[in-house]
Structure 1
């Protein structure tokens, strides 16, 4: 029997942990089972032709909010080509309305609900004649031979330590993000999240975890992304893993964790403080700072404690922090969301993700949609269009703000300019709102702008909004530009080069013969040194507090900050002395 487990990912760099786990668990049928991974950006004909070459007897798709429409269309077309192929679906996007899925997709035989490892194995046993009926398999909804849809009971959750490790052959995951789980379920009941449906929180055996982490470390995998919903909900478990990573750090691998920052205790913070810059990064879901909203969505969060912790981690200077907000939650109107935005912005996260509520099937939020006046899209990702507190027009304005935050804040390319520019406005939220309005007024949305063009646009926006400080902000933008970009064709907004040719020649000739700043280059000729570095002269202390003062900075692009990718920067004096 030829079995295909198919994943349609959102991006090429993503991998699908679920299909690999299913195949590994059904080890008696590994030789018959093949995994195929695609993306939603591929032409459907390309996938159909690929599947035609495979000619599977049993074809299973993993379904999520980002790929359900795509998978449904594939299912309809595939049965025209392979009428005899048996089609099954699984994943969170079909688990909670399996009867509706089978009603609208007559091409599909059944749906695997919830955890799929044991279910998939028993399905293969059935199709190999080792089980008599589908009725005896828990965790499925299926279509009988006479067309009747039958729904079996949900399967009990499994021991997570029984799930095989799927990464022995890393060649299968070349140029892909590695996803890894050490727990399933969540102790919290957030109304918008499906993890709260799985109330049985369980953990993978720590001895297994350490062995598997060591494999990633030995192989020097670039990044491992933990998919545990709240990694630090069990302190002993989290500390053991972080202590192991600290003691066995290979200097290369980065580990991503989703945590509740307000739960981090002093011992965990002390462990983080001793980690190599870039060893771990933290994703922290704030969602809202409105206490009424937090209560309404049944979330547990102490924002005061969260603020203290994230600020403390920021001072450590070694850990990337990604903070999330959700627009469209109950009790949160436009003004309230603006306050939540300002509260989180004040914490100075490395990234601020402004997302929009997804009303997921099977969630508490969906059950209370009428009560909250939730209007949302019928098709995935079921994104909110309006609530009792937020109109569609306001959501549209928040979409503009989201794009401005992504382009200007999350890119990290304008950090010093934004730190000063935000002081010219009533609040950070009002600044990004004004920037979004500027884009709309000038027809700048829905265009592909180069990175340099973004500097030019921001420069024009500043000239319109702030009078009398043109040179102040021009130099800040130039500083931000050269911190990130080794540009040799100077953009228009930057003006003429600030350092004259005679000064540059003298400096680099001296560095070639007796290096004082660029020692890591060894005996490198001055021409090559100039290509790999840049010198800029400012009229302000751009790297400090912007006081008027002639400042000469050397940017070395061979050395980068692992957290923000900024070039190594040194102050130099007029005669080449160290002026730091």
Structure 2
């Protein structure tokens, strides 16, 4: 068969700045430039209708369809391929990616593909395309699997992967193009030096292959020139060894001050210098805790020293670095009580967010090879989550699931990091008890079905904020501490809207503004990124008492009321208390009424026009057109 057009189909979990077809881009970049011109990269998500995906693939009229297959998209890809086969029964389909490498027989048996390419594809893929084009010699390609009459043919992996300096860059080659304000997935290294039994990152080799400094510098320069907003650094442990991590952070600090970076770190190698460098960069760091029990982690070959971990988190907190933690429930040897202790341990550091997952028995991992002997029951198809373990029966597993959902809603979506420690101290309760009662309250007193509780992604941020406010009021009424309610609600609202503003659109000064008299008679509307939020206390006084306990705030401040304006400029969030007339202008600017109508003689025209000119110049009010 001749290979002319090649289509790469990537199915992402959801629309986001992270939805970048990096695997497809790496394979396409490995082809010669003349072949790259015949490549088409298609991006869809699991939310897109199958008919739309199929139509887009068929429209490209490919000779070869390439599918990066992951745990999250395998089922959807199977449905897509079944429909494509009806239109193009002779189309050659190649699958790669983690799921294909771990379970080639299953993919071939399901008919998802004709060929599976295991492992890193940059070495074999260009040779395979040439061999398929000639229809000769492809059967000898390393890492290739396919079905024959006698069964599955499996060729061994390549003897060695390409050296880092030989790996082509999908960004520098132009296959992938960074977008202004968009997101980028950026490989700085491949592999992992550690061998956690539940993880696939090390690939059985337990070594890191850093990409060349020259490539990283050139790619970073490209991202800056394109005006990229966020970069996710794909490196399982960027700070191992520590000197490599520090060198990377210095590069980010010196070359890309306007980009927000997401990094993954291991607490064991976080020292004072690394924490200080992180504080100089616009970034967030994810740290894998998984469990606070050294014995549990030892069983999955993940060494853990609680004292070292505490020191590392204290360093991040002292430098005010934004960071999150990961927890896994259902690890071998762990039970519900152990998970609760780990949750209390993690929340004690007040991380910016806490991601909690059930253990998944991923094919190809060391844990998968012995899970049955360990007495673990798990799903045999994606997402491979556990159903029970000897220490965590199904009933306790469901309790873990509910507790994880409660934390995700109240703490993560509700941006409660700034409120929770003080609230728990005032109430005299532990974090786990708080979230268990929150779960009970949602189900028993609010009538929330369990399925709705667990589907945390379906809840919007405003819905969660209303839920939090109601629950806090319930708790304080129950304990006869309504005197703390204004302080608790104000802190909740401040941290919630500060975080939401930081993730929302930027409010920029206007390039030009109309004449005052003309502007006075025209309707305006509040900028999309601006928020007007009411508070019980004067917001300036509340912020002056940062870190104070709820009792101190209630004793020191009077609930005189205020309205605060939240906007974002670059990476900084501004929060300003508004005077009454300025509130009136901003609140009344609904795109229908002009400032002249809003004030209706309640203010001197000259004074009102000055106020309006300031709002327009700062970009707080924008045109309705």
Q: What residue is the counterpart of 2:375 in the other structure? A: 373
Contact conserved, 2:406 with 2:438, CA < 8 A, in 1?
yes
- Cα distance 1:560–1:307, how it changes in 2: closer, same or farther (>3 A)? farther
- Cα distance 1:351–1:107, how it changes in 2: closer, same or farther (>3 A)? closer
DSSP 3-state at the match of 1:117: coil
**Per-residue displacement from partner, 1:193-226 (whole Å, max 9, x unpaired)?**
0113241421111122122112222323111111
Q: What residue is the counterpart of 1:30 in the other structure? A: 36
User: Post-superposition shift, 1:295?
Assistant: 0.4
- Cα distance 1:470–1:453, how it changes in 2: closer, same or farther (>3 A)? farther
TM-score (norm 1): 0.83
Contact conserved, 1:358 with 1:383, CA < 8 A, in 2?
yes
**Per-residue displacement from partner, 1:549-576 (whole Å, max 9, x unpaired)?**
225666341357948x6x536799xxxx
Matched, 1:471 2:448: no
Matched, 1:271 2:277: yes
**In structure 1, C-alpha distance between the alignment counterparts of 2:339 and 2:294, rounded to whole Å:** 12
Q: What residue is the counterpart of 1:74 in the other structure? A: 80
- Cα distance 1:38–1:532, how it changes in 2: closer, same or farther (>3 A)? closer
Q: What residue is the counterpart of 2:467 in the other structure? A: 457
**In structure 2, C-alpha distance between the alignment counterparts of 1:162 and 1:307, rounded to whole Å:** 40
DSSP 3-state at the match of 2:383: coil
**In structure 2, C-alpha distance between the alignment counterparts of 1:361 and 1:536, rounded to whole Å:** 52
**In structure 2, C-alpha distance between the alignment counterparts of 1:107 and 1:452, rounded to whole Å:** 41
Q: What residue is the counterpart of 1:44 in the other structure? A: 50
Alignment of 1:412-561 (within 5 A): 412-423=414-425, 424=427, 426-441=429-444, 442-445=446-449, 446=452, 451-465=461-475, 466-482=478-494, 484-485=496-497, 536-538=535-537, 543=546, 544-546=548-550, 547=552, 548-551=555-558, 555-558=564-567
Contact conserved, 1:88 with 1:111, CA < 8 A, in 2?
yes
- Cα distance 1:537–1:79, how it changes in 2: closer, same or farther (>3 A)? closer
Q: What residue is the counterpart of 1:220 in the other structure? A: 227
Consecutive unaligned residues of structure 2, counting only runs of 5 or more, are: 499-515, 580-625
Alignment of 1:2-41 (within 5 A): 2-13=5-16, 14-27=19-32, 28-41=34-47
**In structure 1, C-alpha distance between the alignment counterparts of 2:177 and 2:274, rounded to whole Å:** 34
Residue 157 of structure 1, aligned match among 150, 158, 161: 161
Residue 119 of structure 1, aligned match among 109, 119, 124: 124
DSSP 3-state at the match of 1:399: helix
**Per-residue displacement from partner, 1:303-333 (whole Å, max 9, x unpaired)?**
321221122211222x210110001101110
**In structure 2, C-alpha distance between the alignment counterparts of 1:398 and 1:137, rounded to whole Å:** 46
Residue 261 of structure 2, aligned match among 237, 244, 255: 255
- Cα distance 1:158–1:425, how it changes in 2: closer, same or farther (>3 A)? farther
DSSP 3-state at the match of 2:123: helix
**In structure 2, C-alpha distance between the alignment counterparts of 1:33 and 1:416, rounded to whole Å:** 48
Q: What residue is the counterpart of 2:623 in the other structure? A: none
User: Post-superposition shift, 1:255?
Assistant: 1.3
Q: What residue is the counterpart of 1:408 in the other structure? A: 410
Q: What residue is the counterpart of 1:339 in the other structure? A: 341
DSSP 3-state at the match of 2:107: helix
**In structure 2, C-alpha distance between the alignment counterparts of 1:257 and 1:343, rounded to whole Å:** 22
**Per-residue displacement from partner, 1:518-571 (whole Å, max 9, x unpaired)?**
xxxxx999x9999966674539966433320225666341357948x6x53679
**Per-residue displacement from partner, 1:378-420 (whole Å, max 9, x unpaired)?**
2211111111111222221222222221121113544444223
Q: What residue is the counterpart of 1:192 in the other structure? A: 198
**In structure 1, C-alpha distance between the alignment counterparts of 2:164 and 2:386, rounded to whole Å:** 34
**In structure 2, C-alpha distance between the alignment counterparts of 1:31 and 1:450, rounded to whole Å:** 42
- Cα distance 1:300–1:173, how it changes in 2: closer, same or farther (>3 A)? farther
**In structure 2, C-alpha distance between the alignment counterparts of 1:209 and 1:171, rounded to whole Å:** 16
Contact conserved, 2:195 with 2:204, CA < 8 A, in 1?
no
Residue 94 of structure 1, aligned match among 100, 104, 119: 100
**In structure 2, C-alpha distance between the alignment counterparts of 1:148 and 1:368, rounded to whole Å:** 26
**In structure 2, C-alpha distance between the alignment counterparts of 1:452 and 1:225, rounded to whole Å:** 27
DSSP 3-state at the match of 2:337: helix
Matched, 1:285 2:288: yes
Contact conserved, 1:537 with 1:550, CA < 8 A, in 2?
no
Alignment of 1:136-175 (within 5 A): 136-144=140-148, 146=149, 148-155=151-158, 156-168=160-172, 169=174, 171=177, 173=179
DSSP 3-state at the match of 2:301: coil
Contact conserved, 2:414 with 2:461, CA < 8 A, in 1?
no
- The CA RMSD over aligned residues, in Å, is 2.9
- Cα distance 1:74–1:450, how it changes in 2: closer, same or farther (>3 A)? closer
**In structure 1, C-alpha distance between the alignment counterparts of 2:345 and 2:22, rounded to whole Å:** 35
- Cα distance 1:401–1:474, how it changes in 2: closer, same or farther (>3 A)? farther
- Cα distance 1:483–1:95, how it changes in 2: closer, same or farther (>3 A)? closer
DSSP 3-state at the match of 1:371: coil
**In structure 1, C-alpha distance between the alignment counterparts of 2:198 and 2:114, rounded to whole Å:** 30
* Larger CA deviation: 428-437 vs 477-486: 477-486
Consecutive unaligned residues of structure 1, counting only runs of 5 or more, are: 487-522, 573-580
- Cα distance 1:96–1:6, how it changes in 2: closer, same or farther (>3 A)? same
TM-score (norm 2): 0.78
User: Post-superposition shift, 1:62?
Assistant: 0.5
**In structure 1, C-alpha distance between the alignment counterparts of 2:407 and 2:147, rounded to whole Å:** 47
